[in-house]
Amino acid sequence: MVGPGSRIYTNAIKEVWVPEDKKDKKKQTDFIDAIWGVFISLRMVVILLLVLSVLSIVGTVIEQNKPPQEYYHLFRPETVELLGKLGLLDMYHSWWFTSCLALLALNIIACTMERYPFIMKGMKRSTPLLDEKVEAGMKDPAKIRYSLPLETVEKRITAIAGKAFSAPIVTETESGRHFFYEKGRYTRLSFFLTHLSILIIFAGAITGSLFGFKGYVNINEGEKISAVQVRHGQNKDLGFSIQCNSFNVDYYDSGAPKDYRSDLSVIKDGKEVVRKTIRVNDPLSYEGITFYQSSFGSIPEAVTFEIRGKDGASLGTVVAPVGKQVDIPGSRTKMEVADYREHFHMQDGSEAGTAIGVNIYPPGGAPEGIWIFESHPEMNRHGEYSFGVKGVKLNKYTGLQVNKDPGVWMVWTGSLLLVAGIMMAFFMSHKKFWIRLEKDKKGRVEVTAGGTTNKNKLAFAAETARLIQSFREVS
Amino acid sequence: MTNSLLFGISIFVYFFSMVLYVSYLAFRSESLGKVATLTLLAGVLIETAAISLRWLESYQMGIGRAPLTNLYESLVFFAWTIAIVYLLIERKFKIKTAGAFVTPFPFIIMAYASLTPNEIQPLVPALQSNWLISHVVTCFIGYAAFAVSFGVSFLYLFKVKAENRPGKKQGAFLGYLPSSDVLDEVGYKTIAIGFPLLTIGIVTGAFWANVAWGTYWSWDPKETWSLIVWLIYAAYLHARITKGWRGNKAALLSIIGFSATLFCYLGVNLILSGLHSYGGAS
């Protein structure tokens, strides 16, 4: 029996008789097929994109990677602990966020594999013949008859089509002469560009985090360093030295910084190999390591004090290098400059100007920490001494961000491909256009023309309609 | 300051164009429609003059830079791009009735801008870069395209809802609106324009960040929100292109997308903190 019945019969057989070993395999392939089906489904794509956006919001509400004390300031200790355990304080690097990104990457790979054969099919050159099959696939092919010689019609029509397309493929058959025009076949590859570019960007980001580093260093004017501090307080040796020859800042009248720049030298094996003045937006790169102007400041090198006794008589001036104990004249008490604040805030919030933190070491007694104010001598009486600040010798330093990112070129390559792919996908399409010239039974010239496209069908229909209208106007 | 005078005039002109577009929707007079479009165009021209003048004035003050560097300047630029993108879309797709849903944006945004400080401030070193213009301009034209898509999607939902209302026939009025297919198509086309621009805006921003701060992506709230906006529109485009999502669902996603865009632009500066603090109200 042939018909629907037989199909049911064979199906039934299949269901009933499957050898044990094959049954497992079948189950397995069913399972894999099912997973594959989920992976390439649109639902998966849309859900992943929306889940990633919702998760990302969380990280903008809870500020990420702040010093712990700030979190304890904002939340209760047990909340901070919970947030930390859930990875919410560094969520963009948490295992669950990274897994979502990995799923997205797998999803892109699966969809690319799934699409590959279809795209490659579209990339194959179409038949250059306007045969019945091609004609049937067109929306509304035009047929125009002319009372002109064949050569004239051909010349004029191909001249018009030649303005819209590049040179056609011309084929001569029994049915007539066929002209095949094509444009933008390679735009079919835009799918690969837009999707693989994301993978390239991911690969770049992974390369950067595995083989690169981000560090930070302050260099005093005139000094050099050869290692920088990277994450977790580790030091990274650069393999060369970097010296800050000078540092300068310009200010606007408002007091806001206008421009700050460091004159840097790279020193390798005792020789200066590169010298450049860097500023914000203009870093220095050497051997794959880049130095960015990030901040600046100054630290005191030494402070000069005038010290008076109880009766107000001067005991003399003292030059105290930072971190060194020096004698107060006429006594066995020592003092040491330990801290420096350019803008000291009093407990009531008011500003007291420059203040110097000093440790006083009385002979045999416990050391005492005091603040000495440059512009408030009346506050500087401590025990039997009063201190006046005569001068502060400051050392300028430049703060540099120091990075090595061997994956960054991949990120830019991926970005460029992504933009190119998106442009192609939205604004270009694969257009095909055929013209057939023949003579009908009465010997009149008959032109059949029409086209197909893979995208923006409405715009293409308007474009071909205009083209065909110009064909009709040929006389 | 003459630039603020011109900006002030443009607020009023945008207000009138909004009133005219709404009247056009209510009274359906062709000549009213023409006047509405011309008024909006006038608003754009006056604002163009205002922006150019502000640019010029910054040079006269000796701190010459493009007027794209604080909240005030970005707001007026946003209003300007929305008006221009809308005028282009109106011309191309003949959807004048959507104007009533889009023109409130330039007016409200300009009115809001007038409440924020508008002195011409010199640039902090991080903003002194050639990337400033390409980054800001691409982002904002993208935002403007999303704004127009939002207005058109809103009109779409409005129309579909009115059509499905049982009983009372408002045939004449509804017939006057563009067909829901056209609205749906324009809602998509504007996103198809905005998405590549947002992508370029994010990429130029990343490139600039890498030059200025030494990192192309630091998950700062502004960056993250621009990524969120990008992901939402990417979801929209995937749903539309591969599964042909149209109509209500597409319009809804366009509205969600623009809400996220607004948060990315204003919410992040006003509520959250981060590296992009230049746009803040302070």
pLDDT tens sequence across B241-279: 877 788 899 999 999 999 999 999 988 888 776 555 554
Q: 3-class DSSP state for residue A272?
A: strand
What residue in B sits closest to A456 (Cα-Cα)? B189
Contact residues, chain B, for A53 at CB < 8 Å? 227-228, 231-232, 235, 260
B85 has a pLDDT exceeding 60 = yes
Same domain, yes or no: A207 and A261 = yes
A403 has a pLDDT exceeding 90 = yes
Nearest Cα neighbor of B47 from B92, B90, B78, B93 is B78
B218 interfacial to chain A (CB closer than 8 Å) = no
Write down the pLDDT at residue A219: 93
Is B231 in contact with A259 (Cβ distance < 8 A)?
A: no
Same domain, yes or no: A44 and A31 = yes
Same domain, yes or no: A260 and A407 = yes
What's at A294, amino acid-wise?
S
- Which is more confidently placed, A84 or B191? B191
- Which is more confidently placed, A180 or A310? A180
Same domain, yes or no: A278 and A404 = yes
Three-class DSSP labels, A106-118:
HHHHHHHHHHHHH
Domain membership of residue A405 (yes or no) is yes
Is B231 in contact with A42 (Cβ distance < 8 A)?
A: no
Place A26 in a pLDDT band, splitting at 50, 70 and 90.
low
Same domain, yes or no: A273 and A329 = no
Q: DSSP per residue over A420-440, as a string?
A: HHHHHHHH---EEEEEEEEE-
Which residues face A296 on adjacent strands? A398
A467 vs A470: CA distance, rounded Å? 5
A164 vs A466: CA distance, rounded Å? 11
Domain membership of residue A2 (yes or no) is no
B109 vs B17: CA distance, rounded Å? 14
Q: Cβ distance A436 to A449 under 8 Å? A: yes
Same domain, yes or no: A281 and A414 = yes
Cβ count near B48 (within 10 Å): 15
Is B214 in contact with A42 (Cβ distance < 8 A)?
A: no
Contact residues, chain B, for A280 at CB < 8 Å? 125-126, 128, 212
Residue pointed to by tokens 């007016």? B107
A253 has a pLDDT exceeding 60 = yes
pLDDT single digits (tens) B195-219: 999 999 999 999 999 999 889 998 9
Write down the pLDDT at residue A16: 37
Q: What angle, 0 to 180 degrees and rounded to 10, lies between the N-to-C axes of helices B2-27 and B104-113?
A: 150
Contact residues, chain A, for B272 at CB < 8 Å? 60-61
Same domain, yes or no: A405 and A281 = yes
In degrees rounded to 5, what are phi and psi of residue A275?
-135, 130
pLDDT single digits (tens) B92-109: 988 898 999 999 999 999
Contact residues, chain B, for A198 at CB < 8 Å? none
Q: Which of A120, A140, A163 is the last residue of a domain?
A: A120
Is B242 in contact with A257 (Cβ distance < 8 A)?
A: no
The Cα of A385 is separated from the nearest Cα of chain B by a number of Å equal to 45
A2 has a pLDDT exceeding 50 = no
Measured in whole angstroms, the distance separating CA A166 from the mean position of its chain's CA atoms is: 38
Same domain, yes or no: A207 and A273 = yes
Write down the pLDDT at residue A441: 81
Between A214, A258, A415, which is nearest B203 by CB?
A415
Same domain, yes or no: A19 and A116 = yes
Domain membership of residue A42 (yes or no) is yes
B200 interfacial to chain A (CB closer than 8 Å) = yes
Task: Quote the strand ranges of A48-107, DSSP E.
Answer: none
Between B63, B206, B232, which is nearest A53 by CB?
B232
The Cα of A256 is separated from the nearest Cα of chain B by a number of Å equal to 7
Domain membership of residue A194 (yes or no) is no
Write down the pLDDT at residue A396: 87
The Cα of A273 is separated from the nearest Cα of chain B by a number of Å equal to 22
In degrees rounded to 5, what are phi and psi of residue B129?
-155, 150
Is B228 in contact with A57 (Cβ distance < 8 A)?
A: yes
Write down the pLDDT at residue A363: 86
Write down the pLDDT at residue B75: 94
- Name the token pair of B195: 């998405």
pLDDT single digits (tens) A182-222: 999 999 999 999 999 999 999 999 999 999 999 999 999 99
B230 vs B196: CA distance, rounded Å? 10
- Name the token pair of A428: 């270009």
Domain containing residue A166: CATH number: 3.30.310.80
Domain membership of residue A41 (yes or no) is yes
Is A426 in contact with B196 (Cβ distance < 8 A)?
A: yes
Is B211 in contact with A282 (Cβ distance < 8 A)?
A: yes
State the average pLDDT over residues A85-113.
91
Query: Terminal CA-to-CA distance of chain B, rounded, Å?
Result: 21
Place A169 in a pLDDT band, splitting at 50, 70 and 90.
very high
Q: Which domain holds residue A359?
A: 300-395
Number of folded domains that form chain A: 4
HSE on the CB side for A425, CA within 13 Å?
22
Output the CA–CA distances (angstroms, integers) from residue B94 to A259, A331, B37, B148, in the order listed.
Answer: 50, 93, 11, 14
The Cα of B196 is separated from the nearest Cα of chain A by a number of Å equal to 6
Mean pLDDT comparison of A28-32, A148-152, B202-206, highest-scoring range:
B202-206
Residues 111-130 of chain B whose Cβ lies under 8 A from any Cβ of chain A: 121-122, 124-126, 128-129
Same domain, yes or no: A433 and A410 = no
B115 has a pLDDT exceeding 80 = yes
